[in-house]
């Protein structure tokens, strides 16, 4: 079978695809520096293959999960979609490259409709407490780490950097509730139904900056747990302050985040307290 022929599904799979939301990808910044080829292979080749399969099936509508990491250390905030782009590590470079690939694909074949969603910092969980994030090994991201300290799986949270030019010296990010983020994808899918949207990029954030210390305090309040802290130097590659301009998404996608930091921490804690070891048994995750 040729490579292209393998893109066609067996005849018993008689389905039509209207659009694709492409969330898949490796996302650990540190790991990407140690294993760049793994990241380029998985994220880039995976996306190229997906685009080829979509084209083979005549499906040319895509929503792709990009990241605010493409803004690097922004010179100012809020970050608008027109800001200059850069990558500080192989993970970021895969996001940047996939954005470029999508622009090229659209340039070559203008009947493609593509939305590049730049995620800021997704946190929280489904309010039911049944669906949440369950990273393998030591969490890279702040919120899963805080959660694992709160349930007693780790002794303390290390705060990377307390000498930033911010409200309390810790880094500032735009945390967005995963349910708001999910709604942003529905809005993007609806946008793909409009004529000639081309290849467009939208920030999915709240437009509000919250410091690392502020989110720790909000989580302590939501959980009633004390989070022991260890101070450490800045994490290489981290930016000082990153938050989104939400104007374009509000105007063109008619979408705006509804939830605040307290909602995010409440739902994160609801998930964590019901599932302290995520989806696995107590010894399966570390």
List contacts with ligand UDP (CB under 6 A): 121, 140-142, 145, 157-161, 171, 173, 212, 235, 238
Q: How far is the CB of 271 from ligand UDP (least distance, A)?
A: 17
Closest to ligand UDP by CB, 243 vs 255, is 243
For residues 151 and 34, give the distance between their C-alpha atoms in angstroms, rounded to a whole number. 30
Q: Residues 71, 91, 164, 202: which is the catalytic one? A: 91
Closest to ligand UDP by CB, 81 vs 238, is 238
Parallel, antiparallel, or unpaired: how do β-strands 172-173 and 20-22 relate?
Answer: unpaired
Q: How far is the CB of 133 from ligand UDP (least distance, A)?
A: 11
Q: How far is the CB of 17 from ligand UDP (least distance, A)?
A: 31
Closest to ligand UDP by CB, 56 vs 88, is 88
Nearest CA to 82 out of 71, 72, 92, 94 is that of 71
Nearest CA to 246 out of 202, 199, 280 is that of 202
Closest to ligand UDP by CB, 157 vs 201, is 157
85, 152, 211, 219, 226 from 125: Cα distances, Å: 30, 19, 20, 13, 20
Rg value, the chain, Cα: 20
Helices 212-223 and 261-274 sit at what angle, rounded to 10 degrees? 50
Residue 71 appears among annotated catalytic residues: no
Q: How far is the CB of 199 from ligand UDP (least distance, A)?
A: 24
- List residues with catalytic annotation: 91
């Amino acid at each position: 079978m040729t490579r292209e022929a393998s893109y066609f599904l067996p005849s018993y799979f008689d389905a039509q695809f209207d659009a694709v939301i492409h969330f898949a990808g490796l996302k650990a910044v540190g790991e990407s520096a140690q294993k760049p080829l793994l990241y380029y292979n998985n994220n880039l080749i995976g996306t190229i293959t997906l685009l080829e399969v979509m084209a083979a099936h005549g499906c040319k509508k895509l929503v792709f999960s990009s990241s605010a990491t493409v803004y690097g250390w922004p010179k100012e905030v809020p970050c608008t979609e027109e800001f200059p782009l850069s990558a500080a590590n192989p993970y970021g470079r895969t996001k940047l490259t996939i954005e470029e690939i999508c622009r090229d694909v659209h340039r070559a074949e203008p009947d493609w409709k593509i939305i590049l969603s730049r995620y800021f910092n997704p946190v929280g969980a489904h309010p039911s407490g049944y669906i949440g994030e369950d990273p393998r090994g030591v969490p890279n991201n702040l919120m899963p780490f805080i959660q694992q300290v709160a349930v007693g799986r780790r002794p303390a949270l290390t705060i990377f950097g307390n000498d930033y030019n911010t409200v309390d010296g810790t880094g500032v990010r735009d945390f967005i509730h995963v349910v708001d983020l999910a709604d942003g994808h529905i809005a993007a899918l609806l946008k793909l139904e409009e004529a000639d949207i081309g290849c467009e990029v939208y920030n999915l954030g709240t437009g509000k900056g919250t410091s690392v210390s502020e989110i720790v305090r909000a989580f302590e309040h939501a959980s009633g747990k004390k989070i022991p802290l260890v101070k450490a130097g800045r994490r290489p590659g981290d930016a000082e302050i990153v938050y989104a301009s939400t104007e374009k998404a509000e105007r063109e996608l008619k979408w705006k985040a509804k939830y605040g930091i307290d909602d995010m921490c409440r739902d994160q804690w609801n998930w964590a307290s019901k599932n302290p070891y995520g989806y696995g048994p107590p010894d399966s995750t570390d």
